[in-house]
Amino acid sequence: MTQNAVSAYREVPLNSAHKSTLAFSDDERAAVYRAIETRRDVRDQFLPMPINQDVLARILGAAHAAPSVGFMQPWNFVLIESLEQRQRVQKAFKMAQAEEGLQFEGERKQLYQNLKLEGITKAPLNICITCDPNRNGKTGLGRTHNPQMSQYSVVCAVQNLWLAARAEGVGVGWVSIYHEDRMREILNIPSGIEIIAYLCVGYVDELYSEPELQKKGWGKRLALDELIMHEKWEQE
Protein backbone atom coordinates (compact mmCIF):
# COMPACT_ATOMS: atom_id res chain seq x y z
CA MET A 1 0.00 0.00 0.00
CA THR A 2 1.43 3.40 -0.89
CA GLN A 3 1.60 6.24 1.63
CA ASN A 4 -1.19 7.98 -0.26
CA ALA A 5 -3.39 4.95 -0.13
CA VAL A 6 -2.86 4.80 3.61
CA SER A 7 -4.16 8.30 4.18
CA ALA A 8 -7.08 7.83 1.84
CA TYR A 9 -7.88 4.30 2.98
CA ARG A 10 -11.59 4.83 2.60
CA GLU A 11 -11.08 5.21 -1.14
CA VAL A 12 -8.85 2.17 -1.49
CA PRO A 13 -10.70 -0.21 -3.82
CA LEU A 14 -11.64 -3.60 -2.44
CA ASN A 15 -9.32 -5.52 -4.75
CA SER A 16 -5.79 -6.75 -4.39
CA ALA A 17 -3.17 -8.55 -6.46
CA HIS A 18 -3.55 -11.75 -4.48
CA LYS A 19 -7.05 -12.70 -3.45
CA SER A 20 -6.94 -15.31 -0.71
CA THR A 21 -9.41 -18.14 -1.01
CA LEU A 22 -10.44 -17.19 2.53
CA ALA A 23 -11.31 -13.60 1.60
CA PHE A 24 -14.94 -12.59 1.91
CA SER A 25 -16.93 -11.65 -1.18
CA ASP A 26 -16.81 -7.97 -2.18
CA ASP A 27 -20.21 -7.28 -0.62
CA GLU A 28 -19.32 -9.03 2.60
CA ARG A 29 -16.04 -7.14 2.89
CA ALA A 30 -17.77 -3.86 2.16
CA ALA A 31 -20.21 -4.64 4.96
CA VAL A 32 -17.42 -5.31 7.44
CA TYR A 33 -15.68 -2.04 6.60
CA ARG A 34 -19.00 -0.21 6.69
CA ALA A 35 -19.65 -1.44 10.22
CA ILE A 36 -16.18 -0.29 11.27
CA GLU A 37 -16.39 3.12 9.61
CA THR A 38 -19.94 3.99 10.58
CA ARG A 39 -19.80 2.74 14.17
CA ARG A 40 -20.28 5.70 16.48
CA ASP A 41 -20.24 6.35 20.18
CA VAL A 42 -23.87 7.18 20.91
CA ARG A 43 -25.00 9.43 23.76
CA ASP A 44 -28.22 11.15 22.85
CA GLN A 45 -29.84 9.32 19.93
CA PHE A 46 -31.19 6.27 21.74
CA LEU A 47 -34.76 5.17 21.07
CA PRO A 48 -36.71 3.96 24.11
CA MET A 49 -37.89 0.54 22.91
CA PRO A 50 -36.25 -2.47 24.50
CA ILE A 51 -33.77 -4.51 22.52
CA ASN A 52 -35.13 -7.67 20.95
CA GLN A 53 -33.86 -10.70 22.87
CA ASP A 54 -32.46 -12.40 19.75
CA VAL A 55 -30.55 -9.24 18.83
CA LEU A 56 -29.18 -9.01 22.36
CA ALA A 57 -28.17 -12.67 22.26
CA ARG A 58 -26.32 -12.07 18.98
CA ILE A 59 -24.40 -9.03 20.17
CA LEU A 60 -23.46 -10.73 23.45
CA GLY A 61 -22.45 -13.78 21.41
CA ALA A 62 -20.24 -11.55 19.27
CA ALA A 63 -18.59 -10.21 22.44
CA HIS A 64 -18.09 -13.74 23.73
CA ALA A 65 -16.45 -14.75 20.42
CA ALA A 66 -13.62 -12.27 21.05
CA PRO A 67 -10.02 -13.38 21.27
CA SER A 68 -8.63 -13.73 24.79
CA VAL A 69 -5.18 -14.41 26.17
CA GLY A 70 -4.70 -18.14 26.78
CA PHE A 71 -8.41 -18.45 25.81
CA MET A 72 -9.25 -17.43 29.37
CA GLN A 73 -12.48 -15.53 28.49
CA PRO A 74 -12.21 -13.30 31.55
CA TRP A 75 -15.43 -11.35 30.92
CA ASN A 76 -18.85 -11.13 32.54
CA PHE A 77 -21.76 -9.04 31.27
CA VAL A 78 -23.94 -7.31 33.86
CA LEU A 79 -27.19 -6.26 32.15
CA ILE A 80 -28.81 -3.22 33.76
CA GLU A 81 -32.35 -2.42 32.70
CA SER A 82 -34.07 -1.00 35.76
CA LEU A 83 -34.50 2.77 35.75
CA GLU A 84 -33.57 2.92 39.45
CA GLN A 85 -30.16 1.34 38.82
CA ARG A 86 -29.54 3.52 35.78
CA GLN A 87 -30.47 6.63 37.75
CA ARG A 88 -27.98 5.68 40.46
CA VAL A 89 -25.27 5.30 37.83
CA GLN A 90 -26.25 8.59 36.21
CA LYS A 91 -25.96 10.38 39.53
CA ALA A 92 -22.47 8.92 39.97
CA PHE A 93 -21.62 10.10 36.44
CA LYS A 94 -22.84 13.65 37.11
CA MET A 95 -20.72 13.97 40.22
CA ALA A 96 -17.60 12.75 38.43
CA GLN A 97 -18.30 14.93 35.39
CA ALA A 98 -18.46 18.05 37.56
CA GLU A 99 -15.06 17.09 39.00
CA GLU A 100 -13.57 16.37 35.60
CA GLY A 101 -14.79 19.70 34.25
CA LEU A 102 -12.67 21.60 36.79
CA GLN A 103 -9.46 20.97 34.86
CA PHE A 104 -10.61 22.88 31.77
CA GLU A 105 -10.67 26.63 31.36
CA GLY A 106 -12.26 29.29 29.18
CA GLU A 107 -13.76 28.15 25.90
CA ARG A 108 -12.67 24.57 26.45
CA LYS A 109 -14.56 24.50 29.75
CA GLN A 110 -17.64 25.87 28.07
CA LEU A 111 -17.37 23.26 25.35
CA TYR A 112 -16.87 20.45 27.88
CA GLN A 113 -19.93 21.52 29.82
CA ASN A 114 -22.03 21.51 26.67
CA LEU A 115 -20.94 18.03 25.58
CA LYS A 116 -23.33 15.17 26.17
CA LEU A 117 -21.11 12.38 27.45
CA GLU A 118 -23.56 9.64 28.42
CA GLY A 119 -26.92 8.10 27.56
CA ILE A 120 -27.38 6.16 30.80
CA THR A 121 -31.08 6.74 31.32
CA LYS A 122 -31.99 7.38 27.71
CA ALA A 123 -30.67 4.01 26.57
CA PRO A 124 -33.03 1.22 27.68
CA LEU A 125 -30.13 -1.11 28.46
CA ASN A 126 -26.78 -0.57 30.12
CA ILE A 127 -24.12 -3.29 30.13
CA CYS A 128 -21.18 -3.38 32.49
CA ILE A 129 -18.44 -5.62 31.14
CA THR A 130 -16.01 -6.86 33.75
CA CYS A 131 -12.72 -8.75 33.88
CA ASP A 132 -11.85 -11.58 36.23
CA PRO A 133 -8.04 -11.59 35.96
CA ASN A 134 -7.85 -14.78 38.04
CA ARG A 135 -10.36 -16.80 36.05
CA ASN A 136 -7.79 -19.39 35.02
CA GLY A 137 -5.54 -18.96 38.02
CA LYS A 138 -3.36 -16.04 39.00
CA THR A 139 -1.11 -16.55 36.00
CA GLY A 140 -1.26 -18.58 32.82
CA LEU A 141 -0.50 -18.80 29.14
CA GLY A 142 0.39 -15.32 27.88
CA ARG A 143 -0.15 -13.64 31.24
CA THR A 144 3.06 -14.58 33.01
CA HIS A 145 5.04 -11.56 31.91
CA ASN A 146 2.13 -9.32 30.92
CA PRO A 147 -0.85 -9.84 33.21
CA GLN A 148 -2.59 -6.84 31.67
CA MET A 149 -3.42 -9.05 28.67
CA SER A 150 -6.56 -10.20 30.51
CA GLN A 151 -7.94 -6.65 30.55
CA TYR A 152 -6.97 -6.21 26.90
CA SER A 153 -8.95 -9.38 26.09
CA VAL A 154 -12.07 -7.83 27.58
CA VAL A 155 -11.57 -4.70 25.48
CA CYS A 156 -11.60 -6.99 22.41
CA ALA A 157 -14.98 -8.28 23.57
CA VAL A 158 -16.24 -4.71 23.91
CA GLN A 159 -15.23 -3.87 20.37
CA ASN A 160 -16.84 -7.03 18.98
CA LEU A 161 -20.06 -6.10 20.75
CA TRP A 162 -19.86 -2.52 19.46
CA LEU A 163 -19.43 -3.59 15.83
CA ALA A 164 -22.09 -6.31 15.96
CA ALA A 165 -24.46 -3.78 17.52
CA ARG A 166 -23.76 -1.36 14.65
CA ALA A 167 -24.72 -4.03 12.14
CA GLU A 168 -27.97 -4.59 14.10
CA GLY A 169 -28.90 -0.87 14.12
CA VAL A 170 -28.14 -0.73 17.83
CA GLY A 171 -26.10 2.15 19.20
CA VAL A 172 -23.52 1.82 21.96
CA GLY A 173 -21.97 4.53 24.11
CA TRP A 174 -19.02 3.97 26.44
CA VAL A 175 -19.18 5.81 29.77
CA SER A 176 -15.94 6.22 31.68
CA ILE A 177 -16.63 9.21 33.91
CA TYR A 178 -17.35 7.76 37.37
CA HIS A 179 -15.58 6.83 40.57
CA GLU A 180 -14.83 3.13 40.37
CA ASP A 181 -15.67 2.57 44.05
CA ARG A 182 -19.12 4.06 43.59
CA MET A 183 -19.80 1.95 40.49
CA ARG A 184 -18.69 -1.19 42.34
CA GLU A 185 -21.05 -0.35 45.15
CA ILE A 186 -24.04 0.26 42.85
CA LEU A 187 -23.45 -2.91 40.83
CA ASN A 188 -22.26 -5.08 43.72
CA ILE A 189 -19.02 -5.94 41.92
CA PRO A 190 -16.84 -8.10 44.19
CA SER A 191 -13.21 -7.21 44.89
CA GLY A 192 -10.97 -9.06 42.46
CA ILE A 193 -13.33 -8.35 39.58
CA GLU A 194 -12.44 -5.28 37.51
CA ILE A 195 -14.80 -2.97 35.67
CA ILE A 196 -13.61 -2.61 32.09
CA ALA A 197 -16.52 -0.92 30.31
CA TYR A 198 -19.84 0.62 31.18
CA LEU A 199 -21.95 0.76 28.02
CA CYS A 200 -25.28 2.38 27.14
CA VAL A 201 -27.12 0.32 24.54
CA GLY A 202 -30.26 0.96 22.50
CA TYR A 203 -31.73 1.16 19.01
CA VAL A 204 -30.85 4.24 16.96
CA ASP A 205 -32.39 5.71 13.82
CA GLU A 206 -29.61 8.16 13.10
CA LEU A 207 -25.93 8.43 13.80
CA TYR A 208 -23.33 11.14 13.33
CA SER A 209 -21.34 10.66 10.14
CA GLU A 210 -18.13 11.47 12.01
CA PRO A 211 -17.15 11.28 15.71
CA GLU A 212 -19.39 13.63 17.68
CA LEU A 213 -16.35 15.03 19.51
CA GLN A 214 -14.87 15.95 16.14
CA LYS A 215 -18.10 17.50 14.91
CA LYS A 216 -18.35 19.60 18.06
CA GLY A 217 -14.74 20.79 17.84
CA TRP A 218 -13.27 18.83 20.77
CA GLY A 219 -10.72 16.85 18.76
CA LYS A 220 -9.76 15.67 15.30
CA ARG A 221 -8.84 12.25 13.92
CA LEU A 222 -5.05 12.13 13.54
CA ALA A 223 -3.55 11.46 10.11
CA LEU A 224 -2.91 7.72 9.84
CA ASP A 225 0.28 8.26 7.78
CA GLU A 226 1.85 10.08 10.69
CA LEU A 227 1.22 7.19 13.06
CA ILE A 228 2.88 4.47 11.01
CA MET A 229 6.54 3.66 11.59
CA HIS A 230 8.84 1.14 9.99
CA GLU A 231 11.09 -1.44 11.61
CA LYS A 232 11.46 0.52 14.86
CA TRP A 233 10.21 3.61 16.65
CA GLU A 234 11.14 6.56 14.50
CA GLN A 235 12.19 9.71 16.32
CA GLU A 236 10.89 12.97 14.87
Ligand X SMILES: Cc1cc2nc3c(=O)[nH]c(=O)nc-3n(C[C@H](O)[C@H](O)[C@H](O)COP(=O)(O)O)c2cc1C
Q: What is the signed CA dihedral for 216, 218, 223, 227, rounded to 10 degrees?
A: -150
* Contact positions with ligand X (CB under 6 A) in 80-119: 117-118
- Residue among 117 and 149 whose Cβ is closer to ligand X: 117
**Least distance from ligand X to the Cβ atom of residue 24, Å:** 23
The single residue among 78, 95, 174, 194 that binds ligand X, judged by CB under 6 A, is: 174
Rule CB under 6 A: is residue 38 a binding residue for ligand X?
A: no
Contact segment (CB under 6 A) with ligand X among 47-55, 144-152, 187-195, 207-215 equals: 207-215
Contact segment (CB under 6 A) with ligand X among 40-48, 55-63, 64-72, 125-133 equals: 40-48
- Residue among 22 and 227 whose Cβ is closer to ligand X: 227
**Least distance from ligand X to the Cβ atom of residue 106, Å:** 21
Q: Which residues bind ligand X (CB under 6 A)?
A: 40-41, 43, 117-118, 174-177, 211-213
